[in-house]
Amino acid sequence: MHIVSHSSDGNGILFEGTKGRFHVSRGRTKGGPVEALKDKPLPDGAIDAVYGGKKPTSHMQNFMDCIKSGETPISDVWSHHRAMTTCHLANVSIRLDKTLEWDPKTEMITNDRALNSWQSREQRKGYEINVKV
């Protein structure tokens, strides 16, 4: 994954893998996997499965609807935790100019244990967050 700030495609994230690459920016996705959808579209029901049967709308509208209904939003806290973790790790990698190896099960950097200190900071007295799992 590469954070791209000076591209003809705009600011965004460039994902590269063994089967292709694609660029995601606000409001636009571009690249081989996206172009492949023209000839090989997603199967029927794929979008419904991702959205849990909900009609795709704006995230804000979905959030407001879920406040009223009590349902889980399409952009739930668990999937966004994973998405934001990716962004934070990219920032650590950029700042330190180091390649990171990540274990998603333990949520730890595995190739340099000292870098795990970048995952949190000391909390201000009186504002500590104590999570019980």
43 domain-assigned: no
Q: Are 99 and 110 in contact (CB under 8 A)?
A: no
> In the chain, what percentage of residues exceed pLDDT 90?
13
Give every CB contact of residue 34 below 8 A, 6+ residues apart in sequence: 22
Give the span between the Cα atoms of 130 and 133, in whole angstroms: 10
Residue 68 per-residue DSSP state? H
pLDDT tens digits for range 42-79: 899 888 888 777 777 788 888 899 899 998 888 788 88
57 domain-assigned: no
45 domain-assigned: no
Q: Are 74 and 62 in contact (CB under 8 A)?
A: yes
Range of the structural domain that residue 83 is part of: 76-133
83 domain-assigned: yes
Give the span between the Cα atoms of 49 and 130, in whole angstroms: 34
125 domain-assigned: yes
Instruction: Record the pTM.
Output: 0.53
51 domain-assigned: no
